[in-house]
Structure 1
Amino acid sequence: MMVTPPRVAVVTGANKGIGFYIALQLGLSGLFSNIIIGCRDATRGSTACQEIQQQVADTVKVQSMALTIGDRNSHSEFCKRMEEEFGKVDVLVNNAGFAYKGSDPTPFAGQTKKTLETNFFGLVDFTEQMLPLLRQGTDPRLVNVASMSGRLRQVSPELQAKFSDPNLTMEQLQQLIKKFERDVQNGIHREEGWSNSNYGISKLGVIAATRIWARQEAPIIAVNCCCPGYCATDMSGHKGSRSASDGAKNAVIPAIMDNPPTGEFFSDYAVSQW
């Protein structure tokens, strides 16, 4: 049965791992006519599309589009193509992310910029460019894949108050994350109240951004984030205790549930505490 009106879901970083299963589960939900997977690697994107297409109904069209989170020109090109082909987006799942392996010899300060550029600044820029398309969607949803490592208590009480401030603006949030980056480069991030995790701070930023967008876009767009859990994927070196398919459900639930909340953090298949 064809979805009427046509609904379009976009999943970033969906050529493998959790993102692949998010796209597959959205395709199997019967709620979308088009599943778009944004991928850096065209070959992997094409292969993932074929694998998903084989498992979903013929009425669902799965396609891959070039997208590199953190590359603003790539964000713009992707959004332009979505505008031209669909004129709207109904669901956006920001899944693409980056983490250095524990065995990587790059020093901590050397890992900060790339981690933040992909996981936070890139995600924010891409989402800001996609919001006009989401506002045109049918029952639109925005889901950001975060992590329990983005927990609020990893930073000092003073920083906790800033990140959880109900009036925090996106500009203020970006300045906070930039301060972390500067403090790392100056070797004073621990004294300034930050955790010793580039990945954790990047995901803390994602959760805070989720809350800002939830306020800003209400009541049009339901905006939530999630922790997939510790999943056996390339990012974890396949050490996770949860399958990528099960982890994906934490993003799919707020993307397709009836009457979703907004500004919440989903973990273990339910609304959880940040």
Structure 2
Amino acid sequence: MVPLTRVAVITGANKGIGYFIALQLAVSGLFTDVIIGCRDSSRGAIASEEIQQKISIGSSSSTKMHSLPLIIGNVQSHTDFCERLEQEFGSASVLVNNAGFAYKGSDPTPFNEQTKKTFETNYYGLVDFTEKMIPLLKKGKDPRIVNVASMAGKLKQLSSELQTKYTDEQLTIEQLNSLMKSFEKDVHDGVHRQNGWSSSNYGMSKLGVIAATKVFAREEPSISVNSCCPGYCDTDMTSNMGRRSPDDGAKNAVIPATMKNPPTGEHFADFDVSTW
């Protein structure tokens, strides 16, 4: 039986993988309300209405869909969203951090100018929004966080020395932020490769997400916090080159968001706990 109020929040869910995460959570029957956080309010409203219609036609779920404006990477937008969420719903039970950004391979922006925007959305924005959502999650029933990462976030892209720093069991968010800024500085100075860093801004942003997942899991024991890799999906971000459907990829986030007795601090891929 669904508790009086159980709310799920999915960022960047007006299309692609996020859309199907929202749809699957809505039809699960485990939530009274599902909220799409979207930077484009009109697209968010359209997606919310579409999902509501699909629920009405194809399932017995009584979940209500909502769309609220949210720009991940904009601190004021994070604050406004959380304040409105608290006023209208009081709490949240699940947060799926799905919003992400990636430059296309054909983009002419130089590598050292791509780091800032990629990190603002994929890493710093996710961390700040999560920190603001945690008090609301602590008020929720069976609270969970699922961070959508990527196979590009693997540890092996770093030197062994840097891998040790990112996997340190005493690592804090403040220290992790410092590591991420060190990468940014070394990219700016053109010495990132010789200092043991990755050659992928996107990969580093998602590696940071997985590392942050493990820190949050350790620091917030009352919340199940996991990350996932949806796989290489057929979405706008991959220029529709992916071999997996976004509907299928979404399941990798939905599993830790809905399963009974979920683990914490784990990484999911191909529908099960995987290695980092």
TM-score normalised by the chain length of structure 1: 0.98
Q: By how many angstroms is 1:3 displaced?
A: 2.7
Instruction: Tell me the residue number matched to 1:80.
Output: 83
Instruction: Tell me the residue number matched to 1:232.
Output: 234
Instruction: Tell me the residue number matched to 2:156.
Output: 153
Instruction: Tell me the residue number matched to 2:119.
Output: 116
> Deviation per CA, 1:238-263, whole angstroms, max 9, x where unpaired?
00000000000000000000000000
> Deviation per CA, 1:165-187, whole angstroms, max 9, x where unpaired?
01101100000000000000000
The one of 95, 100, 105 aligned to 1:97: 100
What is the identity percentage for the equivalent residue pairs of Structure 1 and Structure 2?
65
Per the alignment, in what secondary structure is the counterpart of residue 54 of structure 1? helix
Instruction: Tell me the residue number matched to 1:131.
Output: 134
Of stretches 53-62 and 70-79 in structure 1, the one that deviates more from structure 2 is: 53-62
- Equivalent runs, 1:64-79 vs 2, <5 Å: 64-79=67-82
Instruction: Tell me the residue number matched to 1:48.
Output: 47
Q: By how many angstroms is 1:76 displaced?
A: 0.2
Instruction: Tell me the residue number matched to 1:263.
Output: 265
Per the alignment, in what secondary structure is the counterpart of residue 97 of structure 1? coil
Instruction: Give me the whole-angstrom Cα distance separating, in 2, the residues matched to 1:111 and 1:183.
Output: 13
- Equivalent runs, 1:1-80 vs 2, <5 Å: 3-57=2-56, 59-80=62-83
**Cα RMSD after superposing both structures:** 0.8
Per the alignment, in what secondary structure is the counterpart of residue 9 of structure 1? strand
Instruction: Give me the whole-angstrom Cα distance separating, in 2, the residues matched to 1:45 and 1:54.
Output: 14
Unaligned segments of structure 1, at least 5 residues? none
- Equivalent runs, 1:118-267 vs 2, <5 Å: 118-218=121-221, 220-267=222-269
* Count of paired positions: 272
Unaligned segments of structure 2, at least 5 residues? none
Per the alignment, in what secondary structure is the counterpart of residue 54 of structure 2? coil
Per the alignment, in what secondary structure is the counterpart of residue 56 of structure 1? helix
On the 8 A contact 2:38/2:68 being kept in 1, the answer is yes
Q: By how many angstroms is 1:6 displaced?
A: 1.6
Q: By how many angstroms is 1:56 displaced?
A: 1.4
Q: By how many angstroms is 1:86 displaced?
A: 1.2
> Deviation per CA, 1:30-52, whole angstroms, max 9, x where unpaired?
00010000000011101101110
> Deviation per CA, 1:16-71, whole angstroms, max 9, x where unpaired?
00000000000000000100000000111011011100111462110100000000
Q: By how many angstroms is 1:202 displaced?
A: 0.3
On the 8 A contact 2:118/2:202 being kept in 1, the answer is yes
Per the alignment, in what secondary structure is the counterpart of residue 55 of structure 1? helix
Instruction: Give me the whole-angstrom Cα distance separating, in 1, the residues matched to 2:245 and 2:160.
Output: 34
Q: By how many angstroms is 1:4 displaced?
A: 2.5
Q: By how many angstroms is 1:125 displaced?
A: 0.4
Instruction: Give me the whole-angstrom Cα distance separating, in 2, the residues matched to 1:191 and 1:232.
Output: 34
Instruction: Give me the whole-angstrom Cα distance separating, in 2, the residues matched to 1:35 and 1:198.
Output: 31
